[in-house]
Structure 1
């Protein structure tokens, strides 16, 4: 059974990702989607198995992008950050982008 995080945890992570990491959201969506022309993306949710992004193509089409966590299933809040950072790093590698340092 897939682990579901508390609503407060999901809300806080989504607020942070969609407020402070809009560029990272787009990078992740571009790297893991089959759609070649994504122009925007927001993190829409996550659970113990992976993250979920809603992206938009250049012609305005909505695309769902579901990405499993690189390290496998998780069930603790600190693991969410670790896995999102791992997705970011893999997205940079896939797209040939120099990743920034992680604090």
Structure 2
């Protein structure tokens, strides 16, 4: 059973991802959704647990859910969430041939 994070942790991460990283959400969706293509025109992170991040994605107005497992495996601590989202971003860049920006 995946680890469930506290509601305040989830709220903070979602606020950050959907406020500061909208382009990253779209990049992750385009890299990991099946089929992987440019027709994905929207992506909002809607949740996560210890196993994966969850995004609601749009293809021309048709919505679906995308669940992407954490690259490093299951997590249980808040700092691990950032590490895994950054790893997903880096993996998405590699899949799509995009130069990743440096991480602070």
The two structures, once aligned, show a CA RMSD in angstroms of 0.6
Question: Shift of residue 40 of structure 1?
Answer: 1.0
| Distance across 2 between alignment mates of 1:71 and 1:4 | 17
Q: Which residue of 1 aligns with 2:16?
A: 16
Q: How many residues align?
A: 102
CA offset digits 1:2-30 (Å, max 9, x no partner) = 10000000000000000000000000011
Q: Normalized against structure 1, the TM-score is what?
A: 0.97
Q: Normalized against structure 2, the TM-score is what?
A: 0.96
Q: Which residue of 2 aligns with 1:43?
A: 45
Paired residue secondary structure (1:44): strand
Runs of 4+ in 1 over 6 A off after TM superposition: none
Instruction: Give the unaligned 5+ runs of structure 1.
Output: none
Question: Shift of residue 44 of structure 1?
Answer: 0.5
Question: Shift of residue 49 of structure 1?
Answer: 0.2
| Distance across 2 between alignment mates of 1:8 and 1:60 | 30
CA offset digits 1:33-92 (Å, max 9, x no partner) = 0142101100000000010000111x2100211000000000000000000000000000
Paired residue secondary structure (2:80): helix
